A and B are shown apart, each in its own frame.
Chain A
Amino acid sequence: MTNQKSLVIGWLYPELMNTYGDRGNVIVLQKRCQWRGITAEIKEIGIGISDKDFSLCDLFMMGGAQDTQQEVVAKDLTKKKKAFKEAIENGIPGLYICGGFQYLGQYYKTADGNKLPQLGILDMYTENPGRKRLIGNIAIDAQNLFGKKTVLVGFENHGGRTILGNGIKPLGKVLKGFGSNDSAKEEGAIYKNSIGTYFHGPILPKNPELADYLIKKALEIKYGKNFELEKLDNSEEEKARKVIAKRLNINI
């Protein structure tokens, strides 16, 4: 068949940035492509891989990491900044979790006051005040992304507080939980087709609409036209979502 669609999912630093189930996102993206007859190849982008690999990817996913791992990745990523920035500016969709999200900003200030420069692709910064980590189940309304009320549920766990600058919208309003920082009651960030969030590890399994959003955008950028994705049965996903919604006492 000549109209076979295919996507390359670039998984950034899978060995290092995969602290807590982050690969769940990659699995979900791949399966939801395959179940629709779209070929989905996972390309692991690790230490020492060339700039060119960025231009081969149609979609990115980057997870969170521990401090030591994060330092190692930061060093490597700085060398590839140009190619990475180009991809993001060209609208290549991506999902950036926790540490992966923080990298995109201007700087990260550690709990002991050390100001570490980040990639500076997005106008935002993160500070870790050393106060309590923000941990627990969370629900947000991601109207900013979907244009209509769409509840995303998950688990957040972060010490850093991220402040967004101009030109960057939050991913959603916090319905229950903490959000990206202590005051704004907002969570995550949207810049072009890149999405940053503190939803721990696997955000996509219980939020299939977000997974499909990323897949749809990736296809549209690659093939230059609008796509309607074939509907999949999300009843298992709904049941798992409802457990969290019930705990948080919200309607989804």
Chain B
Amino acid sequence: MNTLLILIGKFLSFLSGALNLGNGSTWPGHIALSINPDFVSDILEYSKTTVIFVTGTNGKTTTAKLIETILEKNGKTVFVNQSGANLLNGVASSLVIEADIFGKIRKDFAVFEIDENALTKISQKIKPDYLIALNLFRDQLDRYGEVNTISKNWAQIYEKLKDKTKFILNADDPRIAYLGMKPGMNVQYFGLNELSLKNEIPQNAADSTLCPKCSSKLELNPVYYSHLGNWSCPNCNLKRPLLDIEKTNNHPLEGVYNMYNVLAAILFAKDTGISEDNINKSLINFKPAFGRQEEIIAKDKKIKFFLAKNPTSFNESLRTINDAKAKYLLIILNDRIPDGRDVSWIWDIDFEILIDSKIKIFTSGDRAYDMALRLKYSELKSETFEDLDQAVKVSLNNVPEGETLFILPTYSAMLETRKILIGKKIL
């Protein structure tokens, strides 16, 4: 049965790729699941592959890429579900493509990015060997409901997985850390203990300032970003757990948020038996995932993408580019389904940090004027273009040779802009 599903799926996937039908990434999986709801668990139980789930609001793709890189450079075979395909259909599709006709995955490791809201459903089908939980922020409330609901659902999952799964959790995110404090769990924690990374300006986009146990207001000292930091509860004395890893000399990516991703990947890799030395070597020349601090050169000008899909990632990207003394910035705000249809979150971005910089800002995207309005109320000027081609062209023309244009796009805007630049439509 599964052999047939795999053959059909592979054929469909080939067809949609060849005919460029789009959405090729999830419908072979959709079909396989509708015929055999246990397709995913069948395949994974039959294979001798170590399964890793990476979940959280921000950093999944980067962390998966770090893990993939470390493992491959250390002689392991790995497969990763395609970017964006992080719901059950997507996981099934990636198995369809990866499995041989006997329904077996011949890879040592499978790394799945799991959408934070799909974790509950997917975990009923698959018990991973590792679950890496990065963070929980507000993201696309119109689609997902509230962060509290998500973490409540997670609590049930942890209970079901604890016999098999090793948990690698962010100690600095109170809700994530608390989930690991149940008895009988195999947990390792990553977090920061670096006062120099402390965030001096409190950010507005805080989600989780209440104690996960008694709902009192938490104390955070220091805060690294958003609600992440060394937390403790003055009421019930719950506090951040001890860290299994807190620093590394390995900084393949800029930004405090990436420190967490790197620490998570290293903590995992050490657990699989790879030496710290070999881990460090494998991350030299690490290439980020597309849209995540990705660099493109066009007309001798550097373009650097910082995917910015929610207030937290936007704030962290702004902080990183401000530290880099950025002079040219293009912000692209779309409100399509992958971006979230509600753009209210732009009011949680702390644009005020740019006031003293001499940055030139351009805006574009479906909701370019909403972004321009947000900037106006931060006393920042911007030049707005409804047409994205035009925005990319004009903003690049403004950048002198040898300088960098920083682009902060939402998800669909990132795909569109990359296509314009890499497809060389206007260059």
- Which positions in A face B, CB cutoff 8 Å? 15-16, 18-24, 27-28, 31, 47, 66-69, 71-72, 135-137, 155, 157, 200-202, 205-206, 236-237, 239-240, 242-243
Contact = CB atoms under 8 A, between A and B. Distances in A.
Contact of A237 (B215, B346, B367, B373): B373
Nearest to A28: B377
A206 B373 contact: yes
Secondary structure at the A interface, as helix, strand, loop or mixed, is: mixed
B397 to A, nearest CB: 23
Contact of B344 (A16, A24, A69): A24
Contacts, number: 95
15 contacts: A24-B374, A28-B377, A31-B377, A67-B146, A68-B215, A72-B215, A155-B142, A200-B342, A201-B344, A202-B347, A239-B372, A240-B367, A240-B370, A243-B366, A243-B369
Contact of A15 (B142, B206, B367, B376): B206
B142 A135 contact: yes
Contacts of A28: 377
B369 A239 contact: yes
B389 interface: no
Interface residues of B, number: 32
A20 B340 CA distance: 12
Contact of B341 (A136, A201, A202, A239): A136
Contacts of B141: 19-20, 157
A122 to B, nearest CB: 24
Contacts of A23: 204, 347-348
Interface of B: 138, 141-142, 146-149, 204, 206, 209-210, 215, 217, 341-348, 366-367, 369-370, 372-374, 376-377, 379, 384
A19 B142 contact: no
B369 A240 contact: yes
B415 to A, nearest CB: 21
A152 to B, nearest CB: 15
Given A15-B206, A69-B210, A72-B210, A202 B344 contact: yes
B344 A155 contact: yes
Contacts of A136: 341
A136 B344 CA distance: 12
Contact of B204 (A18, A201, A237): A18
A239 B369 CA distance: 6
Contact of A205 (B210, B341, B377): B377
A239 B149 CA distance: 36
